[in-house]
Amino acid sequence: MASQSADAPVKLKNRVIQLLRKSPLLQAFSLQQFDTLIQQAKMHQLAEGEMLFRQDQPLQEVFVCISGCIKLFHLTADGHEKIINIVSPGQNFAEAMLFTEGNVCHMNAAALKQAEVIGINADQFKAFLGESPSLCFSVMSLLSKRIQWLLDEVDRLTLHNATFRLVYFLLETHQHPNYCNIISLDVPKHVIASRLSVRPETLSRILKNLIEQGLISVHDHKIELVDVDGLKAMLSLGI
């Protein structure tokens, strides 16, 4: 686990507690159960590039990102990273690994930039699930949505070209509550390229093409979606 993580539960600030209460992972828990989980929670403060957990490690917590960005990734046989997902503030991750044999992590997690992550005690989380069928169904629903997202992601990566994947990524990010028509690129372009399984130079070429078509504009680390309907039309055509 991360070297700068808290070794014991800490008292969380109100802003953190409010964010956790809105997390899909914890919404179904009663106030009493939620308070118990919060009392045992740990704050992991990660420097840029610092690992939160590594593949094949036993999992002792499930996580909610509070600030910064976390990349979930595999390492290829030749040592290259394949980014599976980028976790933003308010999003939870690693809960699916609770139900794997031995509670073992099947990917790596590291901070893309300075980040704060809350770790929820996995044993207590599972104990509450064991007491309540309704909680189990809630988590099953969450996992089902995650599985469907992964199936859709496989479809995007195998059946659609790089332009489709980038446009989908922009529109998906556009749906995030923190964004309107302007998307702040909180991570380097090569990270986004890895996430979309394209080369960095390919990503730059597609961005240039979208700019020339009047669909987006790029200013430093911000992308403005100039024509959202036009971008959606590209998806509907399958590009």
The pair of structure tokens assigned to 165 is: 């994947």
Tens of pLDDT, residue by residue over 192-232, are 998 898 999 999 999 999 999 999 999 878 899 999 999 99
Please give the pLDDT value at position 9: 67
Say yes or no: domain 160-236 is CATH 1.10.10.10: yes
Virtual torsion, Cα 93, 96, 99, 104, nearest 10 deg: -60
- Region 57-75: mean pLDDT is 92
Whether the Cβ atoms of residue 117 and residue 53 lie closer than 8 Å to each other: no
Please give the pLDDT value at position 143: 83
Q: Are 14-139 and 160-236 in the same CATH fold?
A: no
**Higher-confidence residue: 8 or 173?**
173
Please give the pLDDT value at position 4: 47
pLDDT at 180 over 80: no
Q: Calculate the average pLDDT of the chain.
A: 87
Q: Where are the domains of the chain?
A: 14-139, 160-236
pLDDT at 1 over 60: no
- Region 21-46: mean pLDDT is 93
Whether the Cβ atoms of residue 88 and residue 115 lie closer than 8 Å to each other: no
Measured in degrees and rounded to the nearest 5, phi and psi for residue 116 equal -120, 130
Please give the pLDDT value at position 81: 85
Fold classification of 14-139 (topology level): Jelly Rolls (2.60.120)
The Cα 148–Cα 146 span in angstroms is 5
Give residue 239's pLDDT band: very low, low, confident or very high (50, 70, 90). Answer: low
Tens of pLDDT, residue by residue over 82-130, are 898 899 888 999 988 887 777 788 899 999 999 999 999 999 999 999 9
- Region 171-188: mean pLDDT is 72
In the block, residue with structure tokens 């090569």: 190
